[in-house]
Structure 1
Amino acid sequence: MNYLDEMNTRFLNHLRSDVDVSVGLGLPDHLGRLGDPSLDAHWQSVADARKLLAEIDDSRADDFYERLDLDLIRRYLQQDLFFKTVENHGELQRRRKPDGVDGISAGIFQLFVNDERESADRLADILSRLRQAPAYLEAELAVLSTPVKRWRDIELEQASEIPELFASILAWARETEYPDVAALEREIAQVNDALQAYRDGLSRLPTTDRFSIGIDKVEELLALKQIDKTPEQLRQMTAEYARETQQILEELRQRLVQKYQLDPATDAATLHEFLNREYAVELKNGEPASVLDHYHQERETILRFIRDRQLFPIPDDQDMVIMLTPGFLQPVIPAGAMWPPLALRKGTAKSMVHLTIKKDELDEHTRLGICTMMIHEGIPGHHLQFASAVQQP
């Protein structure tokens, strides 16, 4: 084993040691386990990352590509350490940002919607995780000091929606005749009680509206991201971009007003409303969820266009699942989001696209917007990029 192989193995083992990271990568090591939200575990992870970072030795790399791989490992560890040690007004940010809901639900949701194994195996892992959830929530609450109010409010809203996820899992267990369905039902009831206790405890904590990590930390993060601009230069770039965008919008307004023979005085907001009506999608039986049908149709139209013209190869073993955003994720996904394929899971490279569709927000999902979104998030956009990447040796 050469030096790079040794470091790759150690780096992968470091990733495996974090339950949430391991599951998120598609590794099978901890499917039935929750992570440890305690500060002791947090600082142990920091110590392990620092130790591995200190032992990276570029001089032992044989060529440019090995040095590049070592640099990527280094940058991952540096950014991981940054976010695990950054402070917010003198307090570790970890203690200001509640993460109990995501901690117990992310892996369970993945097992529910993005796992190719038999349902009984997946439900067994879900049951195991549910049994650990009450203790996890207690430990999470013990970590928190004075949460940022916005983060606290999002956590409370998500916690109120989690029972909907558990109800769907219980219905799936009954439908598939899972043999431990009674135990699953008992554990769900206990976790729902624990969630209420967690919400009550979280509501009693003092909060702060202040959020600042300081200019020094901002500059450090920019350097870690290899952004060679100062915060002031980025602000100026943003202001210039906004000005240019306004100019483009005004030019488009004039052209579109002429195209659709509207009053020349029609302003941008009125034009936007007109286009939303003009390109509104037809709902089946008035159901907002039927908007998904239009996304699926647009996906097939795009793929057919690419194949007919042989624009570029499309990987065979890939898929993109388009689904409604579950209630517990809607506070953090107001419109839509894409989860790329699990990087280290064998088999089909599958992306998950969540769409938040509400009756009073259908203007977010017009024929104009749907085609743009599917190109951007799907193929030839992010999904193709990630699906191609995870299939590399």
Structure 2
Amino acid sequence: MNPEKKAEFKRTIEDMFEEFMEFDPTWATYFGIHKYDSLMPDGSKGALENWKNTLKSYKEQLENFREADLDSTSIDLQLARDIIDLELFDLEEWKIWSKFPEGPEKVGDGLFLLLARDYPPAKKRMKALSERVNRSVQFLEETKERLEDPVKIYCRIALESTRRLPRFLSHILEEAKKYLKNNELNLLKKRIERLEEKLEDYESWLEYKMQDARKDFAIGHDMLERRLELRGIEMGVDSILKLGQVYLQKEKKKLNRLARRIDANKSVEEITRELKKNHPQSFSEALEEYRKEISRARNFVKKRNFASLPQNEELKVQETPHFLRHVTPFAAYFRPAKFDKNQIGIYMVTPPENEEMMKEHNYCSISNTSIHEAYPGHHLQLTLANQHPSLIRLLSEGTEFVEGWAHYCEEAVKNLGYNDTPEHRFLQTLDLVWRAARIIVDIRLSCGEMSFEEAVNFLVEQTGMEREGAEAEVKRYTYTPGGPLSYLLGKHLIEKIREEIEEKLGSDFELKWFHDMMLKNGAIPIKYLRGILKEEVNQKLIQTGKKSHTNNI
């Protein structure tokens, strides 16, 4: 290890992280860096060109470092290079910025974070929010010049966000009345009115752009493979597709066995309908049930020593904001701000927009979704990830670990006895079928082998999902290629690592130790986590007096 080089690398990473925050102030708000709370990004095409040059400059700087000089931070060097390469791929090759009008969703996200969080104090957040509303007008106008190659489905998604934002802005104004004085409140009101006018203009502009927008949104097989590789996923697209197909058949057989256990005279479809009918009478009652369920799940994690629970953490359950509901049919999660003292996560649950969608908030699904989003899933994982001192790990796209961990937990807690009934197992297995179907849809949709309608029909037919929910799912899949497949792929990889470690450690294997080792290193790609776990296993083998030099996992 070279101490001087290590110190230089630390400064370089700090500078690079700061550049990321300046490029997109909404990221800074997300991480709890509040000096940027009143700002919006520069939405112009020129800003993207400058950003590319900045990234390339840091790529050159990183060439000055060797892993041998950095010792324990060598993984951060690899991650930093991967992050830059992935960013440059998206900017220069995929060019999603030229296809997807992200302006409305970015505005909504930037405002939502300031409204939903408890820090800084409410009055300060409202003032920053007022400034961000003001700057959003210019931001939306700037983003128009980026849309050089509009895609019809992307424009339609952006249109829905644009039309939904005014309702969210009205909610902001109502909240602001609790904290702002008359002159401050009047200023916010005028700024909101100006933003609403800009949204009307943006809506008309999008409708015009849609006329000549192309239908094809697929990234293509080779581009998808390259993007997965840059994310650190070592399996190829074709191998992942085969994995999804194998799991789909396997889990459907398991679903049939569970159906027979519940009622031998009824089909999978009939049992699915019956279980989905068992739901709270109203959405407000459903929200209360979600809150009760996360409390029960947290107590189980603690009582059964599933994993360590962090200090100063809290999870808030609230409605998904209106502008996100068309792409978030069920639930989603916002991690705590890394730099806020109190680690408060946000568990968003989407209200049903028709009576049929209320079935998705049935009691068994509430339990399974809360394991995934709350304890011991996303909230536990990402709160613990925030404790790692590395700045670069905050920017890392370890989606297969983040989603894979939460998906892994759904079954892992059942295996320890949590809500381990045939009915809960049935719907948890149905979710496994959904995740397997996701792999197939994600890859075939991204490779241009499946249309939007075919993808929706496939989800409905394979999982029994309500059509409205399936449509919202597939909308998100169209602009997140490689994201949906991460759930089951990540679960599969985690289970394989666990099997290998259990085999090596034998009776010395401890589940809590394994989970803590998984979680304490940040939300990084499994490719790198595997190397860290190898060293941890070797240390444990040394402690127990067993040989370590031949133990590779």
TM-score (norm 1): 0.90
Measured in 1, the distance between the counterparts of 2:39 and 2:340 equals 20
Measured in 2, the distance between the counterparts of 1:43 and 1:145 equals 15
Structure 2 runs not aligned, ≥5 long: 390-553
Measured in 1, the distance between the counterparts of 2:237 and 2:308 equals 40
Measured in 2, the distance between the counterparts of 1:273 and 1:82 equals 44
Q: Please say if 1:25 is aligned against 2:20.
A: no
Q: How many residues align?
A: 377
Measured in 2, the distance between the counterparts of 1:86 and 1:351 equals 34
SS of the counterpart of 2:263? helix
Measured in 2, the distance between the counterparts of 1:334 and 1:60 equals 44
- 1:344-363 matches, cutoff 5 A: 345-358=339-352, 359-363=355-359
The one-letter code matched in structure 2 to 1:316 is Q
CA contact (8 A) 2:126 2:179 kept: no
- 1:377-388 matches, cutoff 5 A: 377-388=373-384
Report the CA distance shift for 1:134/1:346 in structure 2 as closer, same or farther (over 3 A). Answer: closer
Q: Which residue of 1 aligns with 2:535?
A: none
Q: Please say if 1:334 is aligned against 2:318.
A: no
Q: Which residue of 2 aligns with 1:261?
A: none
Q: Please state how far the C-alpha of 1:43 moved relative to its aligned partner.
A: 1.2
CA contact (8 A) 1:58 1:67 kept: no
Question: 1:62 pairs with 42, 53, 69, which one?
Answer: 69
Report the CA distance shift for 1:309/1:66 in structure 2 as closer, same or farther (over 3 A). Answer: closer
Identity %: 21
Q: Please say if 1:290 is aligned against 2:285.
A: yes
Report the CA distance shift for 1:216/1:305 in structure 2 as closer, same or farther (over 3 A). Answer: closer
Measured in 1, the distance between the counterparts of 2:71 and 2:180 equals 55
Q: Which has the higher helix share?
A: 2
Q: Which residue of 1 aligns with 2:272?
A: 272
CA RMSD of aligned residues (A): 1.9
CA contact (8 A) 2:45 2:146 kept: yes
Measured in 1, the distance between the counterparts of 2:174 and 2:333 equals 26
Measured in 2, the distance between the counterparts of 1:316 and 1:25 equals 18
Q: Please say if 1:197 is aligned against 2:196.
A: no
Question: 2:139 pairs with 136, 141, 145, which one?
Answer: 136
Measured in 2, the distance between the counterparts of 1:370 and 1:174 equals 34
The one-letter code matched in structure 1 to 2:207 is S
Stretch of structure 1 that moved more, 106-115 or 224-233: 224-233
Q: Please state how far the C-alpha of 1:44 moved relative to its aligned partner.
A: 0.8
SS of the counterpart of 2:74? helix
Report the CA distance shift for 1:23/1:85 in structure 2 as closer, same or farther (over 3 A). Answer: farther
Q: Please say if 1:159 is aligned against 2:139.
A: no
Q: Which residue of 2 aligns with 1:169?
A: 172
Report the CA distance shift for 1:310/1:226 in structure 2 as closer, same or farther (over 3 A). Answer: closer
Structure 1 runs not aligned, ≥5 long: 259-263
Measured in 2, the distance between the counterparts of 1:304 and 1:215 equals 44
Cα offsets for 1:166-220 (capped at 9, x unmatched):
1111111223343411111111111101100000011001211102334332232
Q: Which residue of 2 aligns with 1:100?
A: 103
CA contact (8 A) 1:340 1:383 kept: yes
Question: 2:186 pairs with 162, 182, 185, which one?
Answer: 182
Cα offsets for 1:294-313 (capped at 9, x unmatched):
01111222233344455543
Q: Which residue of 2 aligns with 1:78?
A: 85
SS of the counterpart of 1:175? coil
Report the CA distance shift for 1:95/1:310 in structure 2 as closer, same or farther (over 3 A). Answer: closer
CA contact (8 A) 2:59 2:81 kept: yes
CA contact (8 A) 1:276 1:366 kept: yes
Q: Please state how far the C-alpha of 1:21 moved relative to its aligned partner.
A: 2.5
Measured in 1, the distance between the counterparts of 2:253 and 2:295 equals 35
Q: Which residue of 2 aligns with 1:37?
A: 43
The one-letter code matched in structure 1 to 2:194 is Q
Measured in 2, the distance between the counterparts of 1:328 and 1:140 equals 18
